[in-house]
Amino acid sequence: MRRSVRGLNSIKVVTKKDGRQYKYRRVGSQLVALPDLPEHHPDFIAAYVAAGAVQPKPRHREGTISALCAAYLSSHEYRRMADSTRAVWRRTLDRISNDRGTAFVVDLRPDHLRKDIRALTPGAAQNRLKAWRSILKFAVEEGMIPADPSVGVKAQRGEVKPHRQWTWAELSKFREHWPLEAPERIAFEVIFWTGARCVDAVRLGWQRVDDDGWLSYVQVKTGGPATCPISVLPDWASTMEADQALFLASVPRDRLIWITTQTGKPRSVKGLSQWMSAAASSAGLPSDCTAHGLRKARAAALAEAGATASQIGAWTGHASLSEIAHYTRQADQKGVLGAKRERESGNTIAQFPKKP
């Protein structure tokens, strides 16, 4: 019985759905087709040897936009981004490389960039222009071009619709529809109470709660810390006792991770977001009731409860005052003013005497 010839490395076998197999030899970044023969067959060995003599094609021609995109993806600036941000930037740069990659960077002019973003939606155009500016700034710093052609180029501004904050009526309607033990309700209470993004919420559980009853974690998107009370409650947050009680009544005690699938596995970030939107629709809520809208609702609830900007930032993980202002803009202004007054004065404001 013949044995397979040893030493045939870099062979890739692709099996189609119908069972057919295709064999290739990997040469650099390309695949060279091999005959459908046993590896010990003389013709297969001859084809294998011939494939090894094929000169690898350069992946990116020097000086092109595709080469610039590849260089930027290997840069420190790109590597220091959060994983989720890197994924978005890679997709954007891959599209730029596919659409404009064969052109040379030194030939780029402002009107080329305007033409590139003109056919995109306002939001997509803004993101594309940000990517162009980043890689062209990198090109200037690396000495590839003398000046940045993106300077002065502006994308068309359209109406930006941020995630809408849930109303108290919508929060109550969701709770009325989904019972405490339902997976949808558990995810709802976790996201609403912690104010965590979906990318963080999928990782939260009892393993991150310390002996004093505080939940602490490092955010995936920003790398910054976030901390919120679980079994304790600060004095200033006493008006949120009902929300805390519902959260504690819903989260399971028999597993570490709170938000899981039916099989007990943690949910994916994208899956959680879409699943929560579907759960809101099933409860009869508008299509713009999203998981991120619960995060905004928590920030607003904290403002209404009398939390300072620093306290809101520590709870939700926001690092800047502008971010906190953005998320609390829809807070109940009467609640905010009343809570602030009580916190600063101890609610000792004298009442006007009644008329006799």
* Beta strands per DSSP E along the chain: 11-15, 21-27, 30-34, 214-218, 225-229
Average the pLDDT over 109-121 and give the result.
Answer: 90
Greatest mean pLDDT among 105-119, 150-164, 307-321, 329-343: 105-119
- What gap in Å lies between CA 265 and CA 252, rounded to an integer? 14
Neighbours of 343 (CB within 10 A): 15
| pLDDT of 104 above 60 | yes
State the pLDDT at residue 36.
86
State the pLDDT at residue 29.
60
| pLDDT of 257 above 90 | yes
For 218-251, the pLDDT digits (tens) are 998 888 999 999 999 999 999 999 999 999 999 9
Please provide the average confidence, as pLDDT, over all residues in the chain: 85
- What gap in Å lies between CA 226 and CA 214, rounded to an integer? 10
- What gap in Å lies between CA 295 and CA 193, rounded to an integer? 8
| pLDDT of 350 above 60 | no
**Pick from 280, 298, 276: nearest CA to 192:** 298
Average the pLDDT over 160-173 and give the result.
Answer: 87
For 145-157, the pLDDT digits (tens) are 999 999 989 877 7
Average the pLDDT over 75-98 and give the result.
Answer: 88
Average the pLDDT over 282-308 and give the result.
Answer: 93
Neighbours of 122 (CB within 10 A): 14
Total length of the chain: 356
For 299-317, the pLDDT digits (tens) are 999 988 988 888 999 999 9
State the pLDDT at residue 332.
56
For 207-217, the pLDDT digits (tens) are 999 999 999 99
| pLDDT of 352 above 60 | no
State the pLDDT at residue 341.
45
**Pick from 290, 303, 332: nearest CA to 165:** 290
| pLDDT of 347 above 70 | no
State the pLDDT at residue 14.
84
Is the pLDDT higher at 141 or at 222?
Answer: 141
Torsion angle defined by CA atoms of residues 185, 186, 188 and 191, in that order, rounded to the nearest 10 degrees: 180
Q: At what angle do helices 309-316 and 321-328 cross, to 10 degrees?
A: 90
Is the pLDDT higher at 7 or at 4?
Answer: 7
Of the chain, the end-to-end C-alpha distance in Å amounts to: 115
State the pLDDT at residue 86.
86
Q: What is the pTM of this model?
A: 0.62
Positive or negative, the CA dihedral 125, 128, 134, 138 is: negative
Average the pLDDT over 31-59 and give the result.
Answer: 81
| pLDDT of 18 above 90 | no
Q: Which residues contact 208 (CB under 8 A, 6 or more apart)?
A: 215, 216, 217
Residues of the chain with pLDDT > 70, as a percent, come to 86
295-332 as b/e, with b when 16 or more CB fall inside 10 Å? bbbbbbbbbbbbbebebbbbbbbbeeeebbeebbebbe
Greatest mean pLDDT among 27-41, 82-96, 109-123, 203-217: 203-217
Beta bridge partners of 30: 27
Average the pLDDT over 326-347 and give the result.
Answer: 53
